[in-house]
């Protein structure tokens, strides 16, 4: 999902993971889609993001869909809540951190990832910041300290615990690093007041915190894994089987929109997003658009790479949260509908229809 310097990170993993197995399985038993339009297009219900434009909303505006029409069902509160809504047939598709997707599938939810939705590229990433005067210089300095995150068990925790592990801390030492859940808007203030010792910041919150001065990043997700796709769009398996043409159209159109974002100058992207937000009539403002930097997706067209899911399977196995051999990444996703999956990366179409050369 698109954001402004950093795509949205999940905020309520526990709620998603609490989805009962029986409910998750029942979600795959029958189709309860939203139907079709008068001209025969399949309606795809979705949850959006206030003040932001997702890649699929951009695709609709660019005219990249031919067989589907989007229907907004409100805004989501988090990635896990979004994919839970998809699994329980409130909407047709959702997006979340890949670790959350893996956990949901391991709990019995019949969903498949079809396209990458957010990540870290050269410009957009999450940093984990400390005060310049904190004396914190290494992972070992965080033992017994507090890190402010937006939720437990999701992106911020996965990245933090992986970094601590890579820096040589033992499991016992890692457990002494306390993760404190805070509303993202309050995280910088808590850090400056000494209520926490480090803070996960991304997007506008990262930009404004750095502008205030006195902070620096101790580690970032980009430093840990490089430019990497962290989340995916998922559909229920029954819906994918019964409406394959609709899913294929969604994926090809959204993939083209992602590529458009990857090759189009920033000022044109911001102008297009501004117009979309103003025209859709959801009583939003466009203030956050000034912080837009990039799509956050480094892979052309959002093609899913096996390692982007396998790394979280391995993480869960290592931490005793998933039995070894339970899941294989290759069984959790498909790229068959993505026109960029063959490696040729055809040109994207610009906002006025002109060809934009793929990089």
Rg for the chain, CA atoms, rounded: 20
108-136 mean pLDDT: 95
Looking at residue 185, its pLDDT comes to 85
Fold exhibited by the domain 126-225? D-Maltodextrin-Binding Protein; domain 2 (3.40.190)
| Structure confidence at residue 340 (pLDDT) | 95
Q: pLDDT tens digit string along 250-277?
A: 999 999 999 999 999 999 999 999 999 9
172-191 pLDDT tens trace: 999 999 999 998 889 999 99
Helix 98-106 vs helix 307-318: crossing angle, to nearest 10: 60
Could you tell me the pLDDT band of residue 150, with boundaries at 50, 70 and 90? confident
Residue 106: closest CA among 325, 343, 337, 346: 325
What is the pLDDT averaged over residues 301-329? 92
The 3 state secondary structure assigned to the chain is CCCCCCCCCCCCHHHHHCCCHHHHHHCCCCCCCCCECCCCCEEEEEEECCCCCCHHHHHHHHCCCCCEEEEEEEECCCHHHHHHHHHCCCCCEEEEEHHHHHHHHHCCCCEEEEEEEEEECCCCCEEEEEECCCCCCCHHHHCCCEEEECCCCCHHHHHHHHHHHHCCCCHHHHCCCEEEECCHHHHHHHHHCCCCCEEEEEHHHHHHHHHHCCEEEEEEHHHHHCCEEEEEEEEEHHHHHHCHHHHHHHHHHHHHHHHHHHHCCHHHHHHHHHHHHHHCCCCCCCHHHHHCCCCCCCCHHHCCCCHHHHHHHHHHHHCCCCCCCCCCHHHCECCCCCCCCCCCCCCEECCCCCEECCC
Question: Quick one: angle between helices 307-318 and 155-166, nearest 10?
Answer: 70
Instruction: Give the phi and the psi of residue 317 in degrees, each rounded to 5.
Output: -65, -45
Which pLDDT score is estimated for 179? 97
Provide CATH 3.40.190.10 ranges for the chain. Answer: 42-120+227-331, 126-225
Mean pLDDT on 206-235: 93
Cα–chain center distance at 341:
20
The whole-number average pLDDT for the span 326-355 is: 76
Question: How would residue 101 be classed by pLDDT, with cut points 50, 70 and 90?
Answer: very high
**CATH number, span 42-120+227-331:** 3.40.190.10
Token readout for 110 is 């019949």
Q: How many angstroms from the chain centroid is the CA of residue 236? A: 18
Please report which confidence band the pLDDT of residue 346 belongs to, taking 50, 70 and 90 as the band edges.
Answer: low
Q: In whole angstroms, how far apart are CA 169 and each of 37, 81, 174, 325?
A: 56, 32, 6, 26
Overall average pLDDT of the 222-232 stretch = 90
Please, which residues bridge with residue 44 across strands?
70
């Amino acid at each position: 999902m698109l954001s402004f310097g950093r795509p949205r990170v999940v905020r309520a993993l526990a709620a998603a993971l609490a989805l009962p197995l029986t409910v998750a399985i029942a979600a795959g038993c029958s189709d309860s889609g939203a139907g079709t339009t008068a001209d025969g297009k399949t309606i795809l219900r979705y949850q959006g993001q206030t003040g932001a434009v997702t890649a699929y909303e951009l695709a609709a505006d660019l005219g990249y869909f031919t067989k589907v029409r989007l229907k907004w069902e409100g805004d989501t509160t988090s990635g896990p809540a979004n994919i839970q809504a998809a699994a329980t047939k409130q909407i047709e598709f959702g997006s979340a951190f890949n670790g959350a997707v893996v956990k949901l599938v391991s709990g019995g939810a019949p969903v498949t990832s079809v396209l990458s939705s957010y990540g870290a590229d050269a410009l957009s990433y999450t940093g984990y910041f400390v005060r310049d005067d904190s004396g914190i210089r290494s992972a070992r300095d965080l033992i017994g300290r507090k890190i402010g995150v937006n939720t437990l068990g999701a992106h911020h925790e996965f990245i933090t615990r992986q970094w601590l592990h890579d820096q040589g801390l033992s499991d016992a030492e890692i457990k002494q690093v306390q993760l404190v859940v805070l509303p993202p808007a309050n995280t910088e203030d808590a850090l400056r007041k000494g209520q926490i010792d480090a803070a996960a910041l991304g997007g506008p919150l990262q930009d404004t915190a750095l502008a205030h001065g006195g902070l620096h990043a101790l580690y970032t997700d980009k430093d840990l894994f490089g430019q990497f796709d962290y989340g995916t769009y998922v559909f229920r398996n029954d819906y994918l089987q019964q409406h394959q043409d609709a899913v294929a159209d969604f994926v090809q159109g959204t993939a083209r929109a992602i590529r458009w974002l990857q090759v189009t100058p920033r000022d044109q992207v911001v102008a297009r997003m501004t117009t979309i937000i103003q025209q859709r009539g959801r009583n939003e403002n466009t203030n956050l658009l000034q912080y837009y930097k990039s799509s956050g997706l480094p892979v052309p067209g959002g093609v899913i790479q096996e390692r982007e899911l396998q790394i979280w399977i391995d993480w869960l196995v290592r931490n005793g949260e998933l039995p070894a051999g339970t899941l294989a990444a290759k069984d959790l996703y498909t790229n068959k509908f993505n026109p960029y999956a063959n490696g040729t990366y055809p040109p994207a179409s610009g906002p006025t229809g002109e060809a934009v050369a793929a990089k």
